[in-house]
A = this chain, B = another copy of it.
Amino acid sequence: MNIPKITRASFERHLPILTWSKTYDRDTLTSDLVAAVIVTIMLIPQSLAYALLAGLPAEMGLYASILPLVAYAVFGTSRALAVGPVAVVSLMTAAAVGNLNLATPAEYAAAAITLAFISGIILTVLGVFRLGFLANFLSHPVIAGFITASGILIATSQMKHIFGIKAEGHNLVQLVWSLLEHQQATNVITLFIGVSTVAFLFWVRKGLKPLLLAAGLKPRLADILAKAGPVAAVAVTTLATFIFGLHDKGVAIVGEVPMGLPPLTLPAFDPAMWSQLFIPALLISIIGFVESVSVAQTLAAKKRQRIIPDQELVGLGASNIAAAVSGGYPVTGGFARSVVNFDAGAETPAAGAFTAIGIALAALLLTPLLFFLPKATLAATIIVAVLSLVDLSILSRAWGYSKVDFAAVAATIFLTLGFGVEVGVSAGVMLSIGLFLYKTSRPHVAEVGLVPGTHHFRNILRHEVETIPGVVTLRVDESLYFANARFLEDYVTNRVIKDTTLRDVVLMFSAVNEVDMSALESMEALNHRLKDMGIRLHFSEVKGPVMDRLKRSHFLDEIEGKVYLSQYDAWTALRNPHLPPSQTGAANAAEGPALAAQ
Contacts and interface: CB of A to CB of B under 8 A. Distances in A.
Contacts of A520: 140, 401
Contacts of A5: none
Contacts of A500: 304
A139 interface: yes
B525 A133 contact: no
Nearest to A143: B518
Interface stretch (A43-51, A79-87, A163-171, A435-443): A435-443
A466 interface: no
Contacts of A298: 525, 528-529
Contacts of A544: 462
A139 B515 CA distance: 12
Given A458-B598, A481-B436, A483-B136, A405 B493 contact: no
Interface in A518-553: 518, 520-522, 525, 528-529, 532-533, 543-545, 549, 552-553
Given A402-B516, A459-B598, A484-B136, A301 B532 contact: yes
A521 B140 CA distance: 7
SS class of chain A's interface: helix, strand, loop or mixed?
helix
A439 B480 CA distance: 13
A352 to B, nearest CB: 23
A494 interface: yes
A543 to B, nearest CB: 8
A133 B309 contact: no
A504 interface: no
Nearest to A554: B397
Interface in A449-484: 458-459, 462, 477-479, 481-484
Contacts of A271: none
Given A302-B532, A304-B497, A478-B479, A518 B141 contact: yes
Contacts of A494: 306
A400 interface: yes
Contacts of A138: 482
Interface residues of A, number: 77
A447 interface: no
Interface string A545-576: 10001001100000000000000000000000
A487 B521 contact: no
B309 A482 contact: no
A187 interface: no
Interface in A44-100: none
A573 to B, nearest CB: 20
Q: Which among A302, A398, A437, A549 has the highest number of chain B CB atoms within 10 Å?
A: A437
A220 interface: no
Nearest to A394: B517
Q: Which among A140, A304, A493 has the highest number of chain B CB atoms within 10 Å?
A: A140
A439 B136 contact: no
A438 B544 CA distance: 21
Given A301-B529, A529-B298, A529-B301, A514 B439 contact: yes
B301 A518 contact: no
A301 B531 CA distance: 10
A493 B136 contact: no
Interface string A478-521: 11011111110110011001001000000000110110111011
A433 interface: yes
A404 interface: yes
Interface in A149-202: none
A304 B495 CA distance: 11
A265 interface: no
A133 B398 contact: no
A137 interface: yes
Contact of A549 (B401, B441, B481): B401
Nearest to A432: B482
A444 B513 contact: yes
A136 B487 contact: yes
A482 B140 contact: yes
A66 to B, nearest CB: 31
Given A133-B483, A137-B483, A140-B518, 14 more contacts: A136-B441, A136-B482, A136-B486, A140-B520, A297-B529, A301-B533, A309-B490, A402-B516, A402-B549, A433-B433, A436-B482, A462-B544, A477-B513, A511-B513
12 contacts: A135-B486, A136-B482, A136-B484, A136-B486, A137-B437, A139-B482, A139-B516, A140-B521, A297-B529, A436-B483, A458-B598, A511-B513
Interface of A: 133, 135-142, 294, 297-298, 301-302, 304-306, 309, 397-398, 400-402, 404-405, 432-433, 436-444, 458-459, 462, 477-479, 481-487, 489-490, 493-494, 497, 500, 510-511, 513-514, 516-518, 520-522, 525, 528-529, 532-533, 543-545, 549, 552-553, 598
